[in-house]
Amino acid sequence: MSNASNLQLNRIDMTIPGLLQHYRNGDFTPAQLLQTLQAEFARDTSNPVWIHALSAQEVEPYLRNLEGKSADQLPLYGIPFAIKDNIDLAGIPTTAACPAFAYTPQKSAHVVELLVAAGAIPLGKTNLDQFATGLVGVRSPEPWGPCHNAFNADYISGGSSSGSALAVAKGWASFSLGTDTAGSGRVPAALNNIVGLKPSKGLLSTQGLVPACRSLDCISIFALTCADANRVFDIAARFDASDAFSHANPYSNSKRYFGPPATTPVIGVPAKSELEFFGDSDAQDCFTRSIDHLQTLGWTLREMSIAPFVAAARLLYQGPWVAERTLVTQALLEQNPAALLPVIRRIVEAGLELSALDSFRAQYQLQQLIQQAQPLLQAVDAIITPTIGTTYRIGEVQSDPIQLNSNLGYYNNFMNLMDLAAVTVPTGFFQHGCGFGVTLFHRAFEDKRLLALAAQLHAVAAPTLGATALKNPPCTFSAKGPQPFIPVVVCGAHLEGLALHWQLAERGAHKIESTTTAARYRMYALAGGPPFRPGLMREANGVALPVEVWAVPREQFGSFVADIAAPLGIGKVELADGRWESGFICEPYGLQGAEDITELGGWKPYLARGPR
């Protein structure tokens, strides 16, 4: 086992499975890793990642929590993580990058408690744009100041979750918590070559979070890989009754479903006329190469309008939602306005001029845009956009803080307003060295599907992780992705045009194909009726019989099965090509009084002949 004094960070695999394997191998202990990391924080002060890095004394209770445990018992055993400093960590000041606002919580945020219980060790509280208001990472006052990009110190890191992204990109934290109201969990991920998950609203509790816009806020996850983001998501996505905005995660979005889609993904690509790169041809070339990667994967691309999303993005800061930011800072505005950076004060003071009329007018407009977006989302498995259309030097943003920040929100500000889930994944680099990434998004509670798609894209597009020398591991899955539809084989009264077909049609099922069973089935006309029904039985002297395969919406499958009357039920039916799909089968007792109609060649020929 190594001593802490001779641990070399550049030789440590900081991915979650990598670190767990180091611990299993006995390469070093969590305490030795933490000692090495803390020494690195003290040495590397060129970039103000931390607002408060935990001391050895402050870390000690978390190390004691691991005593008697192992990497095989806790899913995040000894995994170091960083916390954006608008999220509470018990006993450590929360500042939101505003010294006059600081308070010391006695209790950690709900999400932090879950992660610590799983074995993770907090490293400290990270720098951010003040009150999480910004996408640039330069809106932090002294004594901290602006963060800079992990690859080029002249350029912005992205924000507002700047320090959290940098802690991961630099290989100090295996993952980190940020927040994402308008893109703060995605912009810094793209610029620093890491993964940024903006979960569906409400899946990660916001209890213990200083709000930005409380109705829109998400705690987000930064990680080196999509698999690591997925692992953290599985632990952190828990319903919290103390959070009025909390949602339970549906089963189809649970830990069982981080896997590839069952069919070739269809990805929506913005119409060229609606792409905005703000005159940056380098960014345009980066996005073109990203689309090339999708074609390498063999995915189906469908050009589409993103106009409703772009229009909704403008509402976030030009509409009444800015008043939510005003609520958070109201006491400071009234009692100590100088505590706010001038750009932050300018933004939040605008909320004082808004009326209830403005609020309802904007809500009506947003709802119309959401309605317009539904058929676009329905047509694809995900939509891809650049995460940012350009980037800027720190000095440029300081000279024009509002407009340039707004430009970075073009592909981001609409996500939470429209209740979408999103993942940003690295796909390349600007010529000046900063990272470039794309965002995959879709409806709420499609986090798992998006993470799986992003993992496949990441594997072909990004050879290294963050600003480290770590190689991007191959993309592997241990589960299947969720299916929005369940194939059902029908052979009788549910066939198209027959008596019970309405049970499929009214549930929104669509036809996949007409085919036949394997040559191992016999069909019987069951006694009773109407409606008259066949029984399909697998027998040694069977033949191939005509069937239809219908895709039943996942959420409708249970009620469909519940309506099936005995002796029929749903089992597995073998098709001509060897597939086994869910379909109608018959209990043996149901054959009493039944007529073997196999030789007629199916149910429709039997109906044409008529019962005997």
Please name the fold of domain 4-461: Amidase signature (AS) enzymes (3.90.1300)
Q: How many residues does the chain have?
A: 612
Average of pLDDT values for 424-431? 98
Class of the domain covering 485-609: alpha beta
Cα-to-chain-centroid distance, residue 541: 50
Average of pLDDT values for 285-294? 98
Average of pLDDT values for 489-507? 97
Per-residue pLDDT at 528: 87
Model pLDDT for residues 311-350, shown as the tens digit of each residue: 999 999 989 999 999 999 999 999 999 999 999 999 999 9
Per-residue pLDDT at 2: 57
Where does the chain hold its CATH 3.10.490.10 domain(s)? 485-609
Average of pLDDT values for 115-140? 98
More confident residue, 478 or 589: 589
Q: Which of 211-225, 445-459, 528-542 has the lowest mean pLDDT?
A: 528-542
Per-residue pLDDT at 3: 62
Per-residue pLDDT at 455: 97
Model confidence at 380, in pLDDT bands (50, 70, 90)? very high
Q: Which of 216-220, 301-305, 479-483, 564-568 has the lowest mean pLDDT?
A: 479-483
Has residue 306 got a pLDDT over 60? yes
Average of pLDDT values for 423-432? 98
Model confidence at 479, in pLDDT bands (50, 70, 90)? confident
Where does the chain hold its CATH 3.90.1300.10 domain(s)? 4-461
Helix (H) or strand (E) holding 522: strand 521-525
Mapping DSSP onto H, E and C, the string for 129-160 reads: CHHHCCCCCCCCCCCCCCCECCCCCCEECCCC
Per-residue pLDDT at 102: 98
Per-residue pLDDT at 556: 96
3-state secondary structure of 369: helix
Residue 360's CB is within 10 A of a number of other CB atoms, namely 11
3-state secondary structure of 45: coil
Average of pLDDT values for 268-281? 98
Residues annotated catalytic, as ranges: 84, 160, 184
Q: Across all residues in the chain, what is the average pLDDT?
A: 96
- Quick check: 58 and 104 in contact, CB under 8 A? no
Average of pLDDT values for 350-360? 95
Measuring CA to CA, which residue among 441, 458, 475, 430 is closest to residue 269?
A: 441
Per-residue pLDDT at 594: 95
Residues 6+ apart with CB under 8 A from 408: 135, 136, 158, 183, 187, 388, 389, 390, 391
Residue type, 181: T
Average of pLDDT values for 135-145? 97
Helix (H) or strand (E) holding 468: none
Has residue 1 got a pLDDT over 70? no
Model confidence at 529, in pLDDT bands (50, 70, 90)? confident
Per-residue pLDDT at 5: 61
- 346 CB-side CA count, 13 A: 8
Average of pLDDT values for 149-160? 98
d(CA 592, CA 531): 17
Model confidence at 471, in pLDDT bands (50, 70, 90)? very high
Phi, psi of 607 (to 5 degrees): -65, -35
